Amino acid sequence: MTPSPRPVLLPALLAGLLLALPLQAAPVVIRAGWLVDPAAGTAVPGQSLLVDGGRVQAVGAQVSAPAGAEVIDLSRLYVLPGLIDAHTHLCLTLRTEGGKGLNDLLRALLSSTLLETTGRRALVGVVNAREMLAAGFTTVRDVGNAGNYADTDLRRAIEEGWVPGPTMINAGRIIAPLGGQYHHLQPERADLGEPEYLYADTPEEMRRAVRKNVLFGAKVIKIVVDDQPYLYSVEDVRTLVAEAARAHLKVAAHCGTDAGARIAAEGGVASIEHAYDASTETLELMKKKGVFLVGTDFTVTASHAMGMDDYHARVVARLKRARAVGVPIAFGTDVVFPMAGETRGTLSIAFVESFQEAGFPAPAILRAMTTDAARLLGVEAERGHLRPGAAADLVATEGNPLQDASALRHVSFVMKGGVVIRR
Ligand SMILES: [Zn+2]
């Protein structure tokens, strides 16, 4: 085993100001009651992990603690890789009038676009990022709605250790046909939908939009295929996917309709978001082409809070069909509203319920939140497992998450990059 060099996280000038943040972790040995491997579906008792330099360095029944190492006793707990949410909007918290449906949500989004500065959106992101991490999400794919690239600033602040939060794969500005997702714009100010959305209607505009996102820090490209009567075509999607691929980025496609999902799958995107009404034939096409479903499967509570009660039954029915077809699935939530007594993290982790209602066995739910989501995000080499070399992102639960996925809803320990976040 070769100890990896300690990362230099901050310029020396700033380091003195930030001593309160746990930027640098000492070597740690974790005594795990059971070590859960989501890919294998196993929980091996009596394992230890040596963590140093932000990574797992050794795993086994006999791992001795080097001099000076802290020993963390989790011998009564199940230890597993940190969880992944593949569909977040950290820099957006909607102030809705509550429970008035999709149009109310979109009006609230327009109000955020018009009235909230990008600085405020970044601060909203700081709060949501901290809450997601505390709930056990150590990685997120953040799919836009961050004003004018507040998400890039948030990602960098987290990477530099300024603020606690999950590792972010961020989308920058969402690329969409004229109008973005707004249905209330008026002709004298159609531009008000920007910068929240990045309008792109011609192939040249699409390529330029992707390049703009790459330039300003996006790590994934998010497109909206079917939120206006004028859908992107298969050819449009192919143009966007090809330009993203040139920068080694994947494409996530918002598709509310079956027609949109079919176009996105034909066009070769990496994942289809929502796909509320995807037909079984479209799900079969997705499976054939290896396209992930990120269903944003609203719980009863979440659907009700948004005034969209009917969505819960729709997503559970679609999840059942997706499971029968065998589409690759990554856990994703899309929570953008506040709720008294809850955090962004607790609201998001509750989406486990929808998978349980759709009959997913616990190991499949855990894979959707770890190994499978890591594969979609392109981070599977170092995340979604705890083998030597993996990022030291891990959580612990009292119950066995392979037997009952509800155990995931109450993690009692969170480590990210070798730093203890919560214990
Ligand atoms: Zn979303």
CA of 192 to the centre of ligand 1 (A): 19
Provide the pLDDT for residue 8: 40
CA of 164 to the centre of ligand 1 (A): 22
**Stretch 47-59: mean pLDDT, rounded?**
97
CA of 188 to the centre of ligand 1 (A): 27
**Tens digit of pLDDT for each residue in 165-217?**
999 999 999 999 999 999 989 999 988 999 999 999 999 999 999 999 999 99
CA of 73 to the centre of ligand 1 (A): 38
**Stretch 289-307: mean pLDDT, rounded?**
94
CA of 267 to the centre of ligand 1 (A): 20
* b/e sequence 157-196, b meaning 16+ C-beta within 10 Å: bbeebbbbbbbbbbbbbbbbbebbbbeeeeeeeeebbebb
CA of 143 to the centre of ligand 1 (A): 7
**Tens digit of pLDDT for each residue in 381-391?**
999 999 999 99
**Stretch 233-262: mean pLDDT, rounded?**
98
Whether 257 shows a pLDDT value over 90: the answer reads yes
**Rounded-to-integer distance, Cα 121 and Cα 140, Å:** 17
Q: Which of 108-117, 285-294, 336-345 has the lowest mean pLDDT?
A: 108-117
Closest to 393 (Cα-Cα) out of 367, 419, 365, 366: 419
Using pLDDT thresholds of 50, 70 and 90, give the confidence band for residue 157: very high
Provide the pLDDT for residue 7: 41
**Stretch 80-107: mean pLDDT, rounded?**
87
pTM here? Answer: 0.93
CA of 145 to the centre of ligand 1 (A): 8
Whether 21 shows a pLDDT value over 70: the answer reads no
CA angle 394, 400, 402 (to 5 degrees): 90
Using pLDDT thresholds of 50, 70 and 90, give the confidence band for residue 101: confident
Between 64 and 414, whose confidence is greater? 414
Longest dimension (CA), the chain: 70
Whether 6 shows a pLDDT value over 60: the answer reads no
Provide the pLDDT for residue 390: 98
CA of 334 to the centre of ligand 1 (A): 5
Evaluate whether 290 touches 328 at the Cβ level (below 8 Å). Answer: yes
CA of 64 to the centre of ligand 1 (A): 45
Provide the pLDDT for residue 3: 41
The CA-to-CA distance between both ends of the chain, in Å, stands at: 28
Instruction: Quote the mean pLDDT of the chain.
Output: 93
Provide the pLDDT for residue 20: 43
CA of 86 to the centre of ligand 1 (A): 10
CA of 92 to the centre of ligand 1 (A): 10
Token pair 């709060």 is found at 127
